[in-house]
Amino acid sequence: MVSTVDSAKTSLSYLTAHAATLQARSSSPNQNLLPLSAQVSETDHLVVGGCDVPELIERFGSPLYILDEATLRAACQQYREAMAHHYPGEALVIYASKAWNCLAVCAVVHSEGLGVDVVSAGELLTAIKAGVPAEHLYFHGNNKSLDELQQGIDSGCRIVVDNWLELESLSQLLAGAESAVPILLRLTPGIECHTHEYIRTGHLDSKFGFDPDQIEAVFQYVARQPQLRCIGLQAHIGSQIFELQPHADLAGVMVRWFQKAAEYGLPVTELDIGGGLGICYTEADDPPSIENWVKTVAEAVAEACELQGVPLPRLIAEPGRSLIGSACVTAYTVGSQKTVPGIRTYVAVDGGMSDNPRPITYQSVYRALVANRMSAPLTEKTTLAGKHCESGDVVIQEADLPALTANDVIVVAGTGAYNYSMASNYNRVPRPAAILVNAGDAHLIIQRETLQDLMRHDCLPASLAPAS
């Protein structure tokens, strides 16, 4: 049935809640629905990074990813400072760039003293071109090709070895090498956490890492390979996690394996405990703050090391979503509408599953604001639909919105993680542009694709060419 919401509520209510969170609860970006800089102007427009969102649409086009530099930097700083405060040993935070890998994002996190976690040749090259030094690059992935492994070797980065094939392939590629390559071994800890099954990675039934019953055989093998310098161990339990206990449990498991690796003569000095801290996609979400997550992990590792008589390793953490997710919003323009009497009203925007595949993939829920009419009463329960030829292309199933008209600007919050990075050209739709905003300035960081871009890699055999 078509339903309505409290007419006293407006898009401003999200700003009010946002301000209250900042004042009373936390400045941790992952605990906020909107970028830290979000405000409303005298013209009743949403402002992000000091920039009027409807004006950004006029300037850069629609749809548009809008990344707030101040929010991204704040998250980087909070992770870095919390590690320095809570962990008594050396530590390094590395950005899990699969969340959003591009030159500008890699450059920002590098400038904040973070390393970068990559999972492909493309991500690795991007991070290198952005200026990230080799010693701060960690190359993950469960099926690296020989070319990718060689690229990792040539770059001097740390290679996180996932399986036997990678171990054996590296040994073959390095046969006769004069110097050893630094590697970490990815282990499957067997720790469950409450999140979507597609983004759980630490349970035993996982495609990632060496299983517990393989670990000692792996240590034995690596100890006999002088060209492989095993400097550490790595594990990751999943993504969008609100629980702290699984991360504390992981620390204990990893320290025991760290001790075992040392017993086999491996020169381990680094312990990578992954990431996984969640963010707010709706006001009902209640993730821990960045500082509380770091405190839990750091103290658990330190306590486990003291208990087992293990020297403090260099502690590595790999946040992705919690660094960049809340720093970005996506702006759309309203198009067609359809009301099914007694059932629902569909309002279509000029994007959807090609720029944000998370709703159709993970059944993810988001919040939407009307950026050009922030004080308009939210009187309708609206199905915010995408433009693609799929019934499941729905951005938000039941969005609280005003009565909308064509050309209204809709902003969806929390789109920094796994939106651009998972975007596609489904239906031959060009991917949107992305901009970086800060203190009233806006800079293009990813160009909008053109129709010509879509055909750049097409090849038409002469036999199929149209007659001239």
> Which residues does residue 438 pair with via DSSP β-bridges, in sequence order?
441
Separation CA 15–CA 38 (nearest Å): 7
Domain 140-319 is of which CATH architecture?
Alpha-Beta Barrel (3.20)
Which residues are known to be catalytic?
Answer: 389
Fold annotation for 12-68+326-451: Lyase, Ornithine Decarboxylase; Chain A, domain 1 (2.40.37)
Across 331-346, average pLDDT: 95
Give me the residue spans of the domains in the chain: 12-68+326-451, 140-319
* CATH topology match: 12-68+326-451 vs 140-319: no
For 72, which DSSP code?
Answer: H
pLDDT on residue 190: 74
Separation CA 36–CA 26 (nearest Å): 11
Between residues 383 and 16, which one has the greater pLDDT?
A: 383
Between residues 227 and 10, which one has the greater pLDDT?
A: 227
Q: What is the DSSP string of 170-205?
A: HHHHTTT-SSPEEEEEEB------SS-GGGB-SSSS
Residue 280 to residues 83, 206, 243, 287, 326, Cα–Cα distance (Å) = 22, 26, 14, 7, 8
Q: Is the pLDDT of residue 149 over 80?
A: yes
Within the chain, what is the greatest distance between any pair of CA atoms? 79
> Which secondary structure element, helix H or strand E, spans residue 125, and what is its range?
helix 121-129
Amino acid at 291: E
Q: Is the pLDDT of residue 18 over 90?
A: no
Displacement of CA 53 from its chain's centroid (Å): 23
For 103, which DSSP code?
Answer: H
Whose CA is closest to 34, among 305, 282, 344, 394? 282
pLDDT tier at 439, thresholds 50, 70, 90: very high
pLDDT in tens, 394-425: 999 999 999 999 999 999 999 999 999 999 99
